Structure 1
Amino acid sequence: MKFTIHEDSVTTDTTFGNLPVSTNEEEGYRPFQLFIASLAGCSGTLLRTIFTKKRMDITHMELEADYVRNHDKANRIEEIHFTALVQTDHTLTEKQAERISQLVLTNCSMIQSVISSMEITFNIHLIDEKHSSQEK
C-alpha cells in the first residue's frame, strides 16, 4: 500500500476508492475508528460465514463495539467488546453461541493480530423481529 501524507491527513487509494485518515474528523476517518471497523468487518463477515455453514439463515445482523481507551498511555485501545445482535428463525443455545463466539475470536485474522495486546470479547445475542425494526 502507498500512502500520501498531507498537512492534516494521510490518504491511500484502494481498489474500493480513496481512503482519507486523520485525527481531525472533518478531514477523514479517525485511526481508532478504522482499527475497530477492521476488526468488526473481519469478525462480522466470519460470523455470517459460520452461520451459513451451519445452515442457519440470518434475517438481520448488527455488530456493536464498545471500547476502552487509556488516556494516560497515548489513548491506546485496551479493550474491545463486540456484541452481535442476530435475528434468525433458528434456536441457538447459550453453549452454541459461546462456541460460535470462540470460533470468531480464534479465526478472525484481524483479531488474532492484536488479541495478545488487548482484551477482546465477542458475544452473540438473538433478537426478535420487533427488536431489530426498532434499532433501524
Structure 2
Amino acid sequence: MKFTIHEESITTRTTFGNLSVSTNEEIGYRPFQLFIASLAGCSGTLLRTILTKKRMDVAHMEILADYVRNPEEANRFKEIHFTAYVQTVHTLTEKQAERISQLVLDHCGMIQSVMSSMEITFEVQLVDEKYLSQGK
C-alpha cells in the first residue's frame, strides 16, 4: 500500500476508493475507529461465514464494540469486547454460541494479530426483530 502524507492527514487509494486518516475527524477517519472497524469487519464476516456453513440463515446482524483504553500508556487499547446480535429463526444453545464465539476469536486474522497485546472477547447473542429495531 502507498500512503500520501498531508498536513493533517494520510491518504491511500484502495480498490474501493480513497481512504483518509486523521486525528481530526472532519478530515478523515480517526485511527482508533479504523482499528475497531477492522476487527469488527473481520470477525463479523467470519461469523456470517460460520453461521452460513451451519445452515443458519441470518436475517440481520449487528456488532457492538466496547473498549477500554489506558491513558497512561499512549492511550493504547487494554480491552475490546464485541457482542454480535444475530437475528435468525434458528436457535443456539449457550454452549453452541460459546463455541462459535471461540471459532471467531481463533480464526479472525485481525484479532489474532493483536490478541497478545490486549484482552479481546467475542460473544454471540440471538435476538428477535423487536430487539434490533429498538436500537440496541
Tell me the TM-score normalised to structure 2 length.
Answer: 0.98
Alignment of 1:8-87 (within 5 A): 8-87=8-87
Instruction: Supply the distance in 1 between the matched residues of 2:72 and 2:8 (Cα, whole angstroms).
Output: 24
Instruction: Supply the distance in 1 between the matched residues of 2:129 and 2:22 (Cα, whole angstroms).
Output: 38
2:3 alignment partner in structure 1: 3
Task: State the AA in 1 paired with 2:133.
Answer: S
Instruction: Supply the distance in 2 between the matched residues of 1:13 and 1:112 (Cα, whole angstroms).
Output: 26
The CA deviation string for residues 9-41 of structure 1, in whole angstroms up to 9 with x for no partner, is: 000000000000001111100001000100000
The CA deviation string for residues 68-112 of structure 1, in whole angstroms up to 9 with x for no partner, is: 111111111111000000111111000000000000000000000
Gaps of 5+ in 1: none
The CA deviation string for residues 53-79 of structure 1, in whole angstroms up to 9 with x for no partner, is: 000011110000000111111111111
Query: Which consecutive aligned stretches of 4+ in structure 1 deviate over 3 angstroms post-superposition?
Result: none
Q: Secondary structure at the match of 1:135?
A: coil
Instruction: Supply the distance in 1 between the matched residues of 2:24 and 2:75 (Cα, whole angstroms).
Output: 15
2:89 alignment partner in structure 1: 89
Task: State the AA in 1 paired with 2:2.
Answer: K
Instruction: Supply the distance in 1 between the matched residues of 2:89 and 2:135 (Cα, whole angstroms).
Output: 18
Q: Secondary structure at the match of 1:67?
A: strand
Q: Secondary structure at the match of 1:24?
A: coil
Q: Tell me how large the CA RMSD over aligned residues is.
A: 0.9
Instruction: Supply the distance in 1 between the matched residues of 2:38 and 2:95 (Cα, whole angstroms).
Output: 27
Instruction: Supply the distance in 2 between the matched residues of 1:48 and 1:135 (Cα, whole angstroms).
Output: 21
Tell me the TM-score normalised to structure 1 length.
Answer: 0.98
Deviation at 1:134, TM superposition (A): 1.9
Task: State the AA in 2 paired with 1:68.
Answer: V
Alignment of 1:94-105 (within 5 A): 94-105=94-105
Task: State the AA in 2 paired with 1:111.
Answer: I
